[in-house]
Chain A
Amino acid sequence: MIKRIWNFCGDIKVNFWLIFAISINLALGAYFIKFNPKFFSPLNHSLVQDWFLEYGQYHPGQSWWLVLLFVLAFMLGVNTFVCAVKRIAQLWPQRKQNGFRVFSVKIAPSFIHLCFLFILAGHFISLIIGYELNIPVQLNQKIALPRGDSVEVISRQVERYTVPAAFNGAVRQCTVLLKFQSPETTEIKELRVLHPVFRQGMSFHLDVLTNNQSQQAAASPELKLIIKKDPGVALVILCFAALCLLMFWYFPQRKKT
């Protein structure tokens, strides 16, 4: 019985239909978001369980695809793990017979699948664990951070285009100076859009509203300070980069062998 379950979990056909189902589910989800963006927008700045308790559970007609996505992703995770383990167990005893090059090519898909598993895990961690504060930038406002630290915006600067004439007045870059205070030290750091500050496991991002109106008008743009602790993001980006490198190497090698 256990062997049957194990074989079912590691079946390549199950794998194909799961990925295919996730693809369709994501396409449907994209249209749910397109036609009801305000309902899903808070999901970007809150943990998925908090969003579900506050919004999702009251509108099952809108949020069912998200629940299904988690179920399918979990099943795909189990399937990918079993497939990778089965393949490694099958290939490992043959490593000396095949030679290093052939063995590397044969084992590469399993490593690609393991990278994919880490990406799934990273996304899951980001969605259920973490910390985010989203605050409009106000001068001299003190924001409390965990462990008794605090941060204060001590200056803000908006750089605008002067040339070419057609761009005149549009926002080019925004900068704020942050004063970090802990019981022992005080530190001042410059924060710019796309240049976050990393400190004590947290990242500080500057966000700016750059819709057509704010780009054209000379009015001061709306700035937001995002304080974030995302333990999954590094795993997602590093493993996705490793997955790309492995695929970039593997597919031409597969053709040769």
Chain B
Amino acid sequence: MGVWLPNPVFDGNYFLPWAMAAISLGIRCFTKDENNKAVIHSLIIPVCFFSLLALVFPRGIMPPGPKHATFYVPLYYGIDIIAQACFILGGWFAVFHLKEKDPDKLFNSLMVAGFILYSISQVIGAYWAYLGWALPMHWSTKHLQSASIWCYYAAILHLRYFPVWNSRHESWFALAGAALLLLFIYGAQISALSFPGMGG
């Protein structure tokens, strides 16, 4: 096309597997515990799955309209999708924690990292929405789902203060959180399949 646009790079379908791969590599490089290596190597499965899934969705570039021709777009989507990747991989590690194969509780670290990044993306998104639409939060499906995910993970982070609840309970919640997130992401993606072009 002779032009480089940053926005399509951060399309959820394509950036999500990329972010998952980058996080997996980071975990692989910084984990010293040899017992955890097998679990970390298994991350190749979700990375491949989401890469293949991306091929199902239509590709195309829409010209960025006045509200999308801003650096807030790649910044918001980039951070938001990295946070989503953390939550999904957190769910993956939670399965291994339930099988007692994740003694380091990596699922918890991923949830915490995901929650911080998700919060940052929500601030950027709120500021962008205020500049463009005069509202930091819309009463729309997407915004309410984002708020629901944020509250859900905020609730999980409070579980550690329950004396009778242990990390297994936390793992179940992490797994359910990843499922809820996938339902929201791919529910919206399937609805969007009827649109002629995506990616801008």
Contact = CB atoms under 8 A, between A and B. Distances in A.
B44 interface: no
A23 B119 contact: no
Contacts of A40: 139
A142 B62 CA distance: 36
Given A195-B131, A237-B127, A163 B116 contact: no
A235 to B, nearest CB: 10
Nearest to B200: A215
B162 A16 contact: yes
A236 B122 CA distance: 11
B144 A29 contact: yes
A226 B134 contact: yes
A58 interface: no
B5 to A, nearest CB: 10
B140 A33 contact: yes
Contacts of B138: 44
Contacts of A194: 66-67, 70, 128, 131-132
Nearest to A248: B116
B136 A210 contact: no
A194 B67 CA distance: 6
Interface string B1-28: 1110000000000000000000000000
Interface string A20-63: 10111011011101100100110110000000000000000000
Interface in B89-114: 112
B116 A23 contact: no
Contacts of A16: 155, 158-159, 162
A161 B162 contact: no
18 contacts: A12-B158, A13-B162, A16-B155, A16-B162, A24-B148, A26-B145, A33-B140, A33-B141, A163-B2, A166-B63, A167-B3, A196-B131, A212-B62, A215-B62, A215-B63, A215-B65, A244-B123, A247-B119
Interface of A: 12-13, 15-16, 19-20, 22-24, 26-27, 29-31, 33-34, 37, 40-41, 43-44, 123, 126, 132, 161, 163-164, 166-167, 170-174, 192-196, 203, 205, 207-208, 210, 212, 215, 226, 228, 230, 233, 236-237, 240-241, 243-244, 247-248, 251
Q: What 7 A-B pairs are tightest by C-beta distance, nearest first?
A: A210-B65, A193-B66, A26-B148, A23-B151, A30-B144, A170-B63, A167-B63
